[in-house]
Each structure stands twice: as C-alpha cells, then as structure tokens.
Amino acid sequence: MTKNVLVTGCAGFIGFNLSKTLIKENNNVYGIDSLNNAYDKKFKDLRLQNLESENNFQFISNDLSDEDSLNDLADIDIVYHMGARAGVRQSFNDPLSYIKDNTIATTNVANFCKNNNISKMILASTSSIYGNSGEKEMVEDIDEKINPPSIYASTKLSGETLAKTILSSHNTNLIITRFFTVYGPYGRPDMSILRFIHWIMENKEVKIFGDGEQRRSFTYIDDVVDLLLKVQDCDSNETFNVGNNKTSSLNEVVKIIEHFSNKKAQVVNEPRAFRDPDVVLPSLSKSKNTLKWEPKTNIEDGIKATIEWYSSFQDKIKDFTYIN
C-alpha cells in the first residue's frame, strides 16, 4: 500500500539512502532538511539532486528547530526522524547547535506527531550514548547510571527522552533505533571509512587518532535501511540496537581499503580524541528476536561497495572537503 512518509534529514547519509528505498517501494516521500553546515554541503547537494530526479519525492527546505517548520504538511502516515547534527568530536566546540538540531528539533517533530495523530514515529538515535562498552554487549534497557560521554550523545539521549514523554499516552507508536557506526555509499566525510577511502585513493596522508586499535561495530547502510523498513511492523514502543556484533579496528579497515583499492596507505598517528571509546559492542538479541533482523553485510563486502561508489563519483567528489 502506498504511504505518505516524512523523512527528516533526507539530504543526510542515512535519510537519503532510506528515502531512495522508500521511493523504490512506491511510497510518496516528503523530505525535509535544513542543509546545515556540519560538513561540506556539496555532499548534501549531490544526494538531493539524486532524490529530486524521482517522481514521488518532494523536498521541503526548513529548519526543524523552527516550531512552524512542519505546519504545511498534511496526511502523513509515518515519520522517520533521521535529521540531526551528528559527530562526537565537533560537539564539544558547539554545544548550542547540537541542542538546537537534536533536542529542540526532536521536540518539534514529536509534537507534530502528537498533534496530527501520526501512527508511527521512528527516531534515529546512537550507540554513542553508551560510551565505552568494554567486552560487555550494550543492551537497549539502559538504567539511570548511564552517563553520555559527549555533548552529541547527551543531546541525542535527551531527544529520546523528550519524544517518549511527549508521545506517552498518545496514539503515535514510537520506535527508537540506536545506530552503531554506519558506513556505505553516499556516506559522511567526517566519518572514518569514507575519509580513509578518500585519503588512500588520492594518495594523501591517512590520519588516525590514536594507535588505530580502537574497535567499532561498523554497520553497512543497506542493513540499516532494512531494519528501518522492518520496524514498520512493530506496534509497541520499543528501542532497538542497529549494529554489527563483529567489530573491526581502524587499522583493519585501512588494510581492507588497501586491498580493494590496490594502494598503500601513508598512515600518520595523531593524539587520541577526547573520550574516544576503545570499543562499543551492541547486543543484537532484541533486534534478532523481535524483528528477525541481523546485519548481512560483512566489512569486506561493505568497504568494496563503498570504494566502487567512490570511484564512480571520484572526479566530482575528490575535491569536496573531508573533515579530519
């Protein structure tokens, strides 16, 4: 059945890939984005150009922290709130932008859902709220001892809490999806895999903060989109981890890129970033049992596909800005 779906952050990495799949599956997609300057806007223009070539896509250029930003929308069935200001390191320098784009914007989206009796709101959240996991797998039911290690994580956690409070006892079903380090085509230039691919392909220095032994639950974008579609069938208010329980270190990622690009990386190690966790491990039991979902793409296949995408746009995107 065709649905009217609102995707916030549609010019961002995850919102874009999600919108493409929703359109392919015959939904009408209304995409909203403020095209903020968190990283080079040319990446957002590239994604938006692609979306605007689709018939059942409509773009709204608005800032969700503006209370009236959603006033003109009617007859929306589902809201995917993917819009946010992401990035852990930058958040320490600019807390107010993170409060505006994550906490205030999420409050406005939740209020929109409440006031318009939207049946489902799917809210993007992050593994960053867990901090360093050590060997312990992080489960979704966090307790009061949680202590978000960054401004980014604090504003995302407050977005979760506000959406829960606003929508409790209302008709909107709230699903929170906590993503673990997502990568893939049309990715973000401030995240390690795309930066590393760019630096290695263009014979530039590959900067690694720390010794590169920190491990991440790298999760391929198609697996994330797959889960985002599956949660449409979940009718209770739930929180799901969206990750990969096979982690990789940054050094392993560099080796895989070297292998598929047939190039040698010139690695330069710099001081470790403030409060950078050693490892963040997800528990996937709930996503597996409730949604019958698990990540299907291994890191080698995911990186190979991302390098192929980079190569197909290389002339255009090699001169875009990649954040250190």
Ligand X SMILES: NC(=O)c1ccc[n+]([C@@H]2O[C@H](COP(=O)([O-])OP(=O)(O)OC[C@H]3O[C@@H](n4cnc5c(N)ncnc54)[C@H](O)[C@@H]3O)[C@@H](O)[C@H]2O)c1
Q: What stretch of H or E contains 181?
A: none
- Rounded to the nearest 10 degrees, the angle between the axes of helix 299-312 and helix 250-261 is 50
Read off the tokens for 271.
């001081």
In the bound complex, what is the minimum distance in angstroms from residue 203's beta carbon to ligand X? Answer: 26
Let me know: does 149 contact 131? Beta carbons within 8 Å: yes
Q: Residue 191's CB: how many other CB atoms inside 10 A? A: 20
Nearer to ligand X, 61 or 311 (CB): 61
Nearer to ligand X, 132 or 263 (CB): 132
Q: What stretch of H or E contains 153?
A: helix 151-167
In the bound complex, what is the minimum distance in angstroms from residue 165's beta carbon to ligand X? Answer: 19
Going by C-alpha positions, the residue among 109, 102, 100 that lies closest to residue 86 is 102
Going by C-alpha positions, the residue among 152, 134, 156, 162 that lies closest to residue 190 is 152
Which residues form the interface with ligand X (CB under 6 A)? 8-9, 11-15, 32-36, 38, 44, 63-65, 82-86, 101, 105, 124, 126, 156, 179, 181-182, 188
Return the residue nearest ligand X (CB atom).
12
Nearer to ligand X, 21 or 263 (CB): 21
Instruction: Report how far residue 180's alpha carbon sits from residue 218's, in angstroms, rounded to the nearest whole number.
Output: 7
Nearer to ligand X, 11 or 303 (CB): 11
Nearer to ligand X, 6 or 291 (CB): 6
In the bound complex, what is the minimum distance in angstroms from residue 79's beta carbon to ligand X? Answer: 13
8-state DSSP, 56: T
Q: Which of 98, 152, 310, 322 is catalytic?
A: 152
Instruction: Report how far residue 282's alpha carbon sits from residue 293's, in angstroms, rounded to the nearest whole number.
Output: 14
In the bound complex, what is the minimum distance in angstroms from residue 69's beta carbon to ligand X? Answer: 7
Read off the tokens for 287.
């996503």
183 a catalytic residue: no
Let me know: does 244 contact 218? Beta carbons within 8 Å: yes
In the bound complex, what is the minimum distance in angstroms from residue 147's beta carbon to ligand X? Answer: 18
In the bound complex, what is the minimum distance in angstroms from residue 224's beta carbon to ligand X? Answer: 8
Q: Residue 245's CB: how many other CB atoms inside 10 A? A: 16
Nearer to ligand X, 181 or 261 (CB): 181
Instruction: Report how far residue 18's alpha carbon sits from residue 233's, in angstroms, rounded to the nearest whole number.
Output: 16
Q: Can you tell me whether residue 165 is helix, strand or coil?
A: helix
The catalytic residues are: 152
